[in-house]
Amino acid sequence: MNALIDRTIANIGDVLLGKELEIRQALCCMLAGGHLLLEDLPGMGKTTLAHALATTLGMSFGRVQFTSDLLPSDILGVSIFNSESAQFVFQPGPIFNQVLLADEINRATPRTQSALLEAMAESQVSIDGETRPLPSPFFVIATQNPIYQSGTYALPESQLDRFLMRLSLGYPNAQAERQLLLRGEQRGNVSLPASMSADELTAIRAAVAEVTLSDSLLAYIQRLTAFTRNAPEFAMGLSPRGALALVAAARTWAMMAGRHYVVPDDVQAVIEPVVAHRLVPSADYAGDGAALVAMMQRSVDVIPD
């Protein structure tokens, strides 16, 4: 099973060069069954990663480019009158794919954003009074440009919370970039073989469920959570949903490392992408979510003081 995972990561690594850790984290997010938010400047490989993840997991893939005039029906689908059969026929939208890439999600209006995010939470959509289940598994990979760019609608905290992880890719290192430049522009004809079948995915998720948490580790996660709720630098502490997400991600990470139990290193490996976007720094604290996570790791020990 670990060989399978390593192979998948290597596969994606062929198209997204030098981003081993981020690919591993993104895969962890998918295997944990969570939605993924990619936040970075344009041209950093967000779409490439999303596309590679979908194809390599052998899932159907749909993509919506979010714009400010995008309507909910553009994502969900619409009923069209068929004059031959004289009845309305539902034309499913891109959301009826296993992996939906919501590109530049923060460019759409809140109304459209919330239509998508509702679907993410419920795993079903209601159109024209009819409830239609979404395919399973169902993943949303959303990308967004950092919110200080103009013409964007920032996702509110409550919706950010729906994403299991938020990742930034960042610039590639010198060696990877050199390779990238040599290879030239290949966008569009990246065709990855599927390296994992649906059955294998189900098996992996079953294995994740088997991963155990020791008392000591649970206490560690509780102390981390309590720290965010008590330290003055935090305006809002981590919610129980956030703590659950941390546990789920750490479990998956442990499984990916071939262990049937979680160690603090697993938690520390996923804590930044899982927790940083859920934290709100207090008004007089200059740092952002990532700085807060660093502070948590500096301040909370693996055993009680």
CB of 280 to other proteins, least distance (A): 10
Neighbours of 288 (CB within 10 A): 13
Q: Least distance to other proteins from the beta carbon of 218, Å?
A: 9
Binding segment (CB under 8 A) for other proteins, from list 97-105, 122-130, 155-163, 292-300: 292-300
Closer CB to other proteins, 105 or 224, in the complex: 224
Q: Which is nearer to other proteins, 130 or 284 (CB)?
A: 284
**Cβ closer to other proteins: 84 or 305?**
305
Gyration radius of the chain over CA positions: 20
Q: Which one, 291 or 302, has the nearer CB to other proteins?
A: 302
Smallest separation (angstroms) from other proteins to the CB of 231: 9
Tell me the closest approach of the beta carbon of residue 300 to other proteins, in angstroms.
7
Question: Least distance to other proteins from the beta carbon of 227, Å?
Answer: 11
Nearest to 172 by CA among 22, 8, 9: 22
CB 171 within 8 A of CB 41: no
Q: How far is CA 129 from the centre of its chain?
A: 30
Shortest reach from residue 150's CB to other proteins, in Å: 26
With binding defined as CB under 8 A, does residue 77 bind other proteins?
A: no
Cβ-based nearer residue to other proteins, 197 or 299: 299
Q: By CB under 8 A, which span of 62-70, 109-117, 153-161, 262-270 interacts with other proteins?
A: 262-270
By the rule CB under 8 A, 263 interacts with other proteins: yes
CB of 272 to other proteins, least distance (A): 13
Q: How far is the CB of 285 from other proteins (least distance, A)?
A: 9
Chain position carrying tokens 């960042």 = 170
Q: Which of 177, 265, 287, 288 binds other proteins (CB under 8 A)?
A: 265
For other proteins, the closer CB: 194 or 226: 226
3-state secondary structure the chain: CHHHHHHHHHHHHHHCCCCHHHHHHHHHHHHCCCEEEEECCCCCCHHHHHHHHHHHCCCCEEEEECCCCCCHHHHHEEEEEECCCCEEEEEECHHHCCEEEEECHHHCCHHHHHHHHHHHHHCEEEECCEEEECCCCCEEEEEECCCCCCCCCCCCHHHHCCEEEEECCCCCCHHHHHHHHHHCCCCCCCCCCCCCCHHHHHHHHHHHHHCECCHHHHHHHHHHHHHHHHCCCEEECCCHHHHHHHHHHHHHHHHHCCCCECCHHHHHHHHHHHHHHHCEECCCCCCCHHHHHHHHHHHCCCCCC
Binding part of the chain for other proteins, among 71-79, 95-103, 151-159, 264-272 by CB under 8 A, reads 264-272
Contacts to other proteins from residues 206-245, by CB under 8 A: 212-217, 219, 232, 235
* CB of 174 or CB of 303, closer to other proteins: 303
State the residues that interact with other proteins by CB under 8 A: 212-217, 219, 232, 235, 261-265, 268, 282-284, 297-305
